[in-house]
Amino acid sequence: MTAIAIDRLHKSYGDIRAVDGVTFEVSPGEIFGMVGPNGAGKTTTIECLEGLRRPDEGRLSVLGLDPQRQGYELRERIGVQLQESSLPDRLKVREVMGLFAAFYRRSADSAALLEQLGLSEKAGAAFGQLSGGQKQRLFIALALINDPEIVFLDELTTGLDPQARRAMWDLVKGVRDRGKTVFLTTHYMEEAEKLCDRVAIIDHGKIVALDTPRNLVASLEAENRIVFSVEAPVDEAPFRAIQGVTRVEQSGGRIIIFGREDGLLVRVVMALDSAKIRFRDLRTEQPSLEDVFLALTGKEMRE
């Protein structure tokens, strides 16, 4: 049984091929993320799954239902947070929750949801008076109001401060731990890496990689990096000689040592010490999804 199956989805707007032959499956109980730069086709894909946009080609199945023909049944069972939507400015938070709860056969405890999302104090506030991040959290609460089997979150943490973002990750993990499936999009690589069980990297409407974050990073076979600053230029030769070092780069007082073997850090620090080189800001960097994206598309993933 798969929660979501999507087979050769195509969707164009005029000449723009927004989604160009996307295929994947999502299993029940996983957090599945789509990452990619602006305009990659994430929203188009997620809104086709929600039944909001009509695919040009391809077969979609969500909980075994066709989003176009069985949309009402589907919407009873899924929760949706749209990248772009709004509510009447003068509607109060509490009224929003009560109203949306009334649309569904099942409903979750809306006071508890507001509490979880840190909105209890705002229950009496009008939607128009909420800050951007508070609105975002209210939309997440709405996505959970029918205790859905699958939650679709399009850019769930855009507009949230770092603390709220962490809290949101915990919330999403909690949703998964209660047996629900989560389908989300993001352009934060860090978010995809920390939150998702599996990640699809999408660029120009095509999936360029799909796996667990760990496997994606491992598949790169990329080196770890040791980075530090020095006051004056140094001779690179002693570092090249260290066992496991593959490459050394030096520019503007910053030195990056690339290598793969365990114990590299200790050997580098010992070499620094014996050469009496004064250094600052030493840190190690592991390859991340960011590097995967760079390797696969040849460009930096930036907002």
Partner 1 sequence: MRGLWKLILVELKLYLREPAATFFTIVFAPMLLLLFGTIYGNKPNPFFGGRGMVDVSVPSYIALIIISVGFMGIPVATAANREAGVLRRFRMTPLRPEAYIISNIASYYVMTAIGVAALVVVGKAVYGMKFEGNILSVWAGFTLGSLAFFALGYLIAGVASTARIAQAVGMIAAFPMMFLSGSAIPLEVLPQSVRNISRFLPLTHVVTLMRGLWAGEGWAEHLTEVAVLGGVLIVGIILSARFFRWE
Residues that bind Mg ion (CB under 5 A): 42-43, 83
Per CB under 6 A, the list member of 15, 38, 177, 302 interacting with ligand ATP is: 38
Which positions from 86 through 125 interact with partner 1, judged by CB under 8 A?
86-88, 90-91, 95, 98-100, 102-105
Q: What is the 3-state secondary structure (H, E, C) of the chain?
A: CCCEEEEEEEEEECCEEEEEEEEEEECCCCEEEEECCCCCCHHHHHHHHCCCCCCCEEEEEECCECCCCCHHHHHHHEEEECCCCCCCCCCEHHHHHHHHHHCCCCCCCHHHHHHHCCCHHHCCCEHHHCCHHHHHHHHHHHHCCCCCCEEEEECCCCCCCHHHHHHHHHHHHHHHHCCCEEEEEECCHHHHHHHCCEEEEEECCEEEEEECHHHHHHHHCCCEEEEEEECCCCCCHHHHCCCCEEEEEEECCEEEEEECCCCHHHHHHHHHHHCCCCEEEEEEECCCHHHHHHHHHCCCCCC
Question: Is 302 one of the binding residues for ligand ATP (CB under 6 A)?
Answer: no
Identify residues 142-201 at the interface with partner 1 (CB under 8 A): 142
289 interacts with partner 1 by CB under 8 A: no
Given partner 1, ligand ATP, Mg ion, none, residue 98, with its beta carbon under 5 to 8 Å by kind, binds partner 1
Q: Name the segment binding partner 1 (CB under 8 A); options: 68-76, 179-187, 194-202, 289-297.
A: 68-76
Site size toward partner 1, by CB under 8 A: 25
Query: 76 near 104, Cβ under 8 Å?
Result: yes
Per CB under 8 A, does 84 bind partner 1? yes
Distance, CA of 84 to CA of 82 (rounded, Å)? 5
- Choose between 83 and 212: whose C-beta lies nearer to Mg ion: 83
Residue closer to ligand ATP (CB basis): 42 or 122: 42
Distance in Å, CB of 203 to Mg ion, minimum: 13
Query: Residue 263 binds which one of ligand ATP, Mg ion, partner 1, none, with CB within 5 to 8 A depending on kind?
Result: none
Residue of minimal Cβ distance to ligand ATP: 43
Question: Cβ of residue 205: shortest distance to ligand ATP, in angstroms?
Answer: 7
Segment near partner 1 (CB under 8 A); pick from 3-11, 83-91, 233-241, 291-299:
83-91
Residues that bind ligand ATP (CB under 6 A): 13, 16, 18, 36, 38-44, 83, 187
Residues that bind partner 1 (CB under 8 A): 50, 52, 72-73, 75-76, 80, 82, 84-88, 90-91, 95, 98-100, 102-105, 139, 142
